[in-house]
Each structure stands twice: as structure tokens, then as C-alpha cells.
Amino acid sequence: GAVLPLGTLAVGPPRQPVGPYRILEAQVGDDFWKYYDFYAGKDSAGSGGYIEYVSEDVARRDGIVEVVTEVVPEERMIEVYEDGDGRWEEEDWMAEDLAFLDWQKRKDAEEKEDAEEEDGDKKATTTKQKASDEKKTRFLYNSTIATDDRPAPKLEPFNPDNYRANEPTRSDPTETFVRISSSPTPQGPRNSVRLEGRRRFNRGLFIIDLRHMPAGCGTWPAFWLTDEANWPVNGEIDIVEGVNYQDTAKTALHTTRECRMDDVAEGSKTGSWDTAVGIPNRKTGIPDMTFRFAQNCFVYDPHQWINQGCVATDLKSEGRSLGMPLNAQGGGVYALEWDPVNGHIRTWVFTPHGRVPGNLREALRTATDADLDARVAPDTNLWGLPYGHFPIGEDTNCPSGHFRNMRLVINLAFCGSVSGNRYFMDCPEKFKKFKTCNEYVKSDPEELKEAYWKIRGVYVYEREWERQWT
């Protein structure tokens, strides 16, 4: 072998967080609360929600936070296929995603052709019918898993309590949930909850298993990462955020200058971008009707709405991945991968629970297993393409330093600068009787009974450190 001269320092590959994911926090059941502090006080001036966040003691007294255990009924069971190393399913997801991207490309081409057609009334009708028919085909395809040469599926609860790998499921399986809601007050603003994580993060895989999220007129729930004291310098990532009747998942990044998402590789995601049209000129006030995608994460970009940020939108399960449609399907699983070493932030949503990839399902099931060897490491390469892909770091248009020292926040606001400002558009029937969002919420309408979180668990993973060249 080679002989190094005396005094030569032999340097190997650097230690980096590039290994398999390992569970850092499994926030489930009664242990859920130990990962958070309850913020008590009014909403921030920028959000202006019509709420009063209350302490843990008040929240428990009013019954707006609780832990409940339920027997899993048969209709909430899912079909589970045996798939040893997950390769069959990986091939299924890739085939499905490629088929979806092809479907989307043809759909976009048809819509463009239709828009260019001068006498397009008849053609528009035909194109819409074709798009509608193809959407049905896509939905059926998305709901079907190829089963050639595979054993028949077993009917199982998605994430039962006391799960043990390779052991039969109990005859009366249970699942334990954290429930977070709000309560009316004589003064008007609702008592609500804002949980602020106790740990700070600079990377990680963040997963929330929801069975129900707050939805309906006036609601503004969110599950997000932020460093409020240094906002927007240290960034913000909105993982789940609903406004009024919105029904499609989005992921938004908010930063200071010089973070743009105009360099995303084609075919790296199944989603699209939010749009920014009609932005008033800051000098003249005249709306700019130029069509733009919201791809600048800078919160004060003059060509986007204030604090819009760069916003990825789900297309594959459009219209059913958030809010009331999500709840009607029994919820879903959201995942955000913040991986600066590998140069990206990526997001997925899976709904209903029978659509969750097997690797992800088994990772959640075994996250609290006392046998560490039985815990399954989540592998995002087995989940298909994300709907949101944000390149960060070297050789991108967004330095990774825009995101750091953030903590998780789970909150439920009402009205305010987003839900309240959209009230007259999103809730026209309510607007006829109540001229402001605050008036509507103060009336304590029946619909607000749907404004609650029902969380099976929040799971945080980080990659193990290994010596490896990038």
C-alpha cells in the first residue's frame, strides 16, 4: 500500500447527517403534551386572530384538550398487502406518479389549446368533458394497487395501540388520539390553543397522522415550523394550513430575500405552484394582472401577495387533501422532509389512510416499540414523488441558511388577517347574515363543532450521522 510521509494528516470523509432516519420524538397519547408549551395570550398583531390562547390549566378545565382512546371499527380498517422489502410498492408508486405526470401534461396541453381557440364554445365543452372523464380514470387508477402474484390483503387498523410487528392484531384494537378544539366566550373571541415545541430543529422528517382537522368558515388551523423571534430571518415552513373551506393541501416557505424556486427539475414532483395575479402596484395601486406562480419565498416580493412566500400545491389528490373532504375520508398523513445536506425540502400528503405507503405505515406503527431493532426506519425513496419540492443549498437559488433554529407549532385561530380577510369570498351565505368574520364566530354557530384537531401522533425523525463524501 501507499506510504504517507511523516507529518501528513490523513483526512477521511466528513461526518454528516446522511444515514437512515431514526425517531427523535414520537408525540402520542398522554406523552404528547410534554413536547410542547402552551402559549397564553392574544394572537400576534400580524395574524390578528379572533381568539384568546389559553394556558394548559384553562384548556383542560374547559375540555378543549384531551386524550381519547377509541375501538377501531371495521369501516376504519385498511387493506394491508404483504410486500417484504417494499419494492413492489415502490414500483407501484413510480408507475402511478409517471402516469399522473403524463395525464397532467396532456391536460395542460388541452387547456392551452382550448384557450387559444377563438370560437371555442363547443370545443371548451368537449375538452371539459374529456378532462372530467380522464380525472375519473385517474381517481380509479390512484385507488387501485396492482396485486399480480401477491397474497390477498389483510384487514387491519392503520396504527393501533400496542402494535407489535409480526404479531396478530387484537380482536378489539384501539387507537389513542389527541383532541384539540376551542370554546366560546361571552366577550366573543374564542378560547383556543397554541402549542409551541420545546425543541429547536435545523433539519428533520416531520410527520403528522391526522384523523380530523379544523375546517369550515372562519377557521385557520396550522401545523408549522418557525422561529418567531427571528422571523423571517430564520424562515417559516407551513406543513398543514387550512383557511375556511380550502380543500387542497399546500406547503408554504417564507424567508428573507434571495430564496427562489425557479430551478425545480421537471418530473421531481407531482404538484404545482400557487399563483399571484392581481397584485396592486405599490405606487399606483393598479392591479397587475400578469400571471405568475408564487415561486419567490421572500415575504415582501412586490409581485406576490404580502407574506405569500413560495407555495407548492397538491395536484394528485386535489380537492380532497385538506379540510372537510379530508375529514370525510377519515383524515390522512402529511410528511415534510427538511434535508439541507441532500439539498431539498419535500412534502407529501396521503389520504385516505389506505393510500399511505407501507414503509411509512410501518414506521409510524413501530415508532414507540420497546424493541429498538423492531422499529422501521422511514425511507422517503419508497413513497413516490412528493407534491412539493423546494431545492435548497449549494447550486440552488435558495441558500439553506434561510431555514434554521425552528420549532413546531400547532394552533387553531379564527378569522384574522387570512381567514377573516377572505370571509366575504369564501363564506358568501354566512356573509349575508354576518357582515364580518368576527360577528359570525361570536354567534357560536353549529359549524364550529367541526373546528377540532384529532391527532393520532406527530413523529419527528433525524438522519444518523455518518462519515461520507457528498
User: Is residue 56 left, alpha or beta, with left meaning phi > 0 and alpha meaning psi from -120 to 50?
Assistant: alpha
Cell numbers 396521503 correspond to 350
Q: Return the bridge partners of 389, or none.
A: 346
Three-state DSSP at 260 gives: strand
Cell output for 117 = 381557440
Rounded distance, CA 213 to CA 178, Å? 11
Q: What is the Cα 376 distance to its own chain's centre?
A: 22
- Report the C-alpha gap between 221 and 246 in whole angstroms: 11
Q: What stretch of H or E contains 24?
A: strand 15-27
| Three-state secondary structure of 178-233 | EEECCECCCCCCEEECEEEECCCECCEEEEEEEEECCCCCCEEEEEEEECHHHCCC
Question: Is the separation of the CB atoms in 248 and 318 below 8 Å?
Answer: yes
Residue whose C-alpha is closest to residue 387's, from 334, 332, 329, 346:
346
Q: Which residues contact 72 (CB under 8 A, 6 or more apart)?
A: 157, 160, 173, 174, 175
CB 324 within 8 A of CB 247: yes
**Please, are residues 52 and 189 in contact by the beta-carbon 8 Å criterion?**
yes
- Alpha-carbon span 274 to 291, nearest angstrom: 11
Structural contact between residues 200 and 99, judged by C-beta atoms closer than 8 angstroms: no
Which set of grid coordinates corresponds to residue 390? Answer: 423546494
State yes or no: cis peptide before 352, omega within 30 of 0: yes
Q: Which of 435, 437, 392 is nearest to 414 (CA)?
A: 437
First vs last C-alpha separation in the chain? 25
Pairing of strands 310-313, 250-254: antiparallel
- At residue 305, φ and ψ (nearest 5 deg) are -65, 150
Residue 351 phi/psi, 5° resolution? -155, 140
- Dig out the grid coordinates for 219 from the structure: 377557521
Catalytic residues: 236, 241
Task: Report the length, in residues, of the chain.
Answer: 470
